[in-house]
Amino acid sequence: MTGATPARHDGPALLAAAEDLFEQLVAWRRAFHQFPELAFEENVTAARIIEALSAIEGVEIVKGFGCPTSVVGLIGGDLPGKVLAIRAEMDALALDEETGVPFSSCIPGVMHAAGHDAHMAALLGAAVLIAERRQDLQRPVALLFQPAEEGKGGARALVQSGLIKRFNVGQVVAPLLWPNSPYGTFMTRPGVITALSDRIHIEIRGVGGHAALPHVTVDPILIGAHIILSIQSLISRELDPLESAVISFGQVEAGEAYNIIPETGHMWGTLRAFDTGVRDFLKDRLQALVPAVATAFRGSAVLDYTRNYPQTQNDPELTAALQRCAHEFFGGEQIGSLAKPLLSGEDFSFYSLEVPSCLMLIGTGEEVGLHHSRYQVPEEILPLAAAWEAFMAMSLPESLTEGVL
């Protein structure tokens, strides 16, 4: 390699090249943001990704593996060794946007409020950087644009369809742009990094009637309120205080008129925990408590409990190698600490069950949190994210006993 050619692990050179892509990164991100799509419906999004990848020399595109809207871009597919897969999520959230930005969502009730628009743009930028330097790659790289992270298990669909074997994947990594953390800081941890995440649906049945005659009805709304309060007591009074768990209800539906007590009600929620024993204990208690509370108020209730995402386990050796890479790329002063795992759920966990994987965070400095109608990603961070992904592709060795390349 001549002195005029950037070393494959030259972080400043990659970042400078990514800065040159800033306008394109912003354009990609805004296009994704303006036309968000829900899980497994990312048809326009997939078409935009395919169009962008098709313009990059050296990228082999695989469309629709595992589900119709997935896109995989392969670089260096003829190289020996196992593939490093870098994941970006594609789907948006069912949320009305309130940011007021000129490129706000054009789709009523759908918004990119978890940074997936920025993740996709950054990975496209990384594709440009890696493809331009593909002669320096030491192993093949897969750019994995994954549908349906938000509760629908897109990663599970890809893994069950044989993604790991089909693409000879040896490791999977995923940077998340993370609010409420200092701008440009890198954070991760070995072992458990995100909680298991399950889904709860409760159907309540009562006796409907006139709101002025509650004594001849059985009010499912009242029953639902008591069920929610009783469930919170499971956390505060039946779970070991040294254990962690959260049960939250984000959707409650009952009735169609202000003066009619409805016949039925529905509640949807989620349980998060780090320990499967805690989950099993709380599930058993929910199955006993929910119908008992409803019976006490002369109604009935049925619990539908779905095990959704397992914990995400960061491989210790891969995480240590990435932390070494991060020290070189970000600088030691930008390496933050993640002392505790996150109670958020991630379907990245399905990759971590199959091959060494690492989920990591890059702080955005934003105060508005994920899944909020005013959530935004600062666009100036896009070159940093793209350059970091390219740096991982160029520098992370297949054998984790080796140093950074």
Indicate which residue of 328, 379, 380, 398 is catalytic.
379
* Same-domain check for residues 146 and 220: no
Within a domain: 403: no
* pLDDT tens string 152-178: 999 999 999 999 999 999 999 999 999
* Same-domain check for residues 250 and 362: no
Within a domain: 386: yes
Count structural domains, the chain.
2
Within a domain: 5: no
Residue 6 confidence class, pLDDT cut points 50, 70, 90: very low
* Same-domain check for residues 362 and 268: no
Within a domain: 2: no
* pLDDT tens string 269-324: 999 999 999 999 999 999 999 999 999 999 999 999 999 999 999 999 999 999 99
Q: Are strands 169-178 and 357-363 parallel, antiparallel or unpaired?
A: parallel
Report how far apart, in Å, the C-alpha atoms of 248 and of each of 75, 194, 245, 271, 373 are: 42, 17, 10, 7, 19
* Same-domain check for residues 297 and 357: no
Among candidate residues 279, 309, 339, the one where a domain is terminated: 309
Indicate which residue of 309, 346, 375, 389 is catalytic.
309
* Same-domain check for residues 266 and 367: no
* Same-domain check for residues 270 and 384: no
- For the chain, give the mean pLDDT: 95
132 is catalytic: no
Q: Which residues pair with 104 in a beta bridge?
A: none
* pLDDT tens string 74-122: 999 999 999 999 999 999 999 999 999 999 999 999 999 999 999 999 9
Among candidate residues 309, 332, 365, the one where a domain is terminated: 309
Within a domain: 390: yes
379 is catalytic: yes
User: How high is the pLDDT of residue 7?
Assistant: 41
Q: Is the pLDDT of residue 404 over 60?
A: no
* Same-domain check for residues 304 and 318: no
Domain span at residue 294? 196-309
For range 359-385, the mean pLDDT = 97
Report how far apart, in Å, the C-alpha atoms of 291 and of each of 93, 260, 262, 354, 401 are: 31, 24, 18, 38, 54
Q: How far apart are CA 2 and CA 4, in angstroms?
A: 5
Which of 338, 378, 376, 375 minimizes the C-alpha distance to 358?
338
Q: Is the pLDDT of residue 334 over 60?
A: yes
Q: Is the pLDDT of residue 215 over 70?
A: yes
What CATH number corresponds to the domain at position 373? 3.40.630.10
388: burial class by Cβ within 10 Å (0-12, 13-18, 19+)? buried
* Same-domain check for residues 149 and 66: yes
What CATH number corresponds to the domain at position 202? 3.30.70.360
